[in-house]
Amino acid sequence: MRMLKHVDQLRQPLPDLTARFNIKRGLFRKESVEAALFDLDEHGCVLKTDKIFNPGDTLLLDLIMRMPFDNITAANLGGLVTERRKHCSNFFYSVDFIGSDSRPRPSDSDKLERIRDVLTKKQSLRSRRSPGFSQTA
């Protein structure tokens, strides 16, 4: 479980990574939402959006790592909102990944691991290119 005590340190979203999920807006309507991710590990993530959720709410997330030729997608990840912190007109949410036994399924873990590996490489390249870049992970 990641705590949002370090929200002030989460200045930059993770490069080229977004979360996509749907919100019910009535009986037959859904709204598709994309949110920036600010932290990611094998257990969960921190995302920022202007949508309102409460701790205990569940989300079905697709994590999308934008790549030049073919995006990497970890689809249909169950997420449990564990914490919310208001920041200006948006909210930071701590989301723990859940599967049938409160852990991501093995195939989801493989996709998450691939996204995390690519993310680490991208952050390393960016930190070499720009001396003012601070790594937040």
pTM, to two decimals: 0.76
Q: Which of 90-94, 118-122, 129-133 has the highest mean pLDDT?
A: 90-94
For residue 34, tell me if it sits in a domain: yes
Task: Give tens-digit pLDDT for 51-83.
Answer: 999 999 999 999 999 988 888 888 888 999 999
pLDDT of residue 107: 61
> What is the C-alpha separation between 85 and 77, in angstroms, rounded?
22
For residue 136, tell me if it sits in a domain: no
Q: What total number of domains does the chain contain? A: 1
Work out the pLDDT band at 43, boundaries 50, 70, 90: confident
pLDDT of residue 57: 92
Tokens of 22: 């749907």
> What is the C-alpha separation between 74 and 106, in angstroms, rounded?
12
For residue 108, tell me if it sits in a domain: yes
CATH code of the domain containing 41? 2.40.10.220
For residue 137, tell me if it sits in a domain: no
For residue 57, tell me if it sits in a domain: yes
| Residue-range definition of the domain harbouring residue 16 | 4-128
Task: Give tens-digit pLDDT for 85-114.
Answer: 988 889 999 999 887 554 555 565 677 888
For residue 135, tell me if it sits in a domain: no
Higher pLDDT, 26 or 68: 68
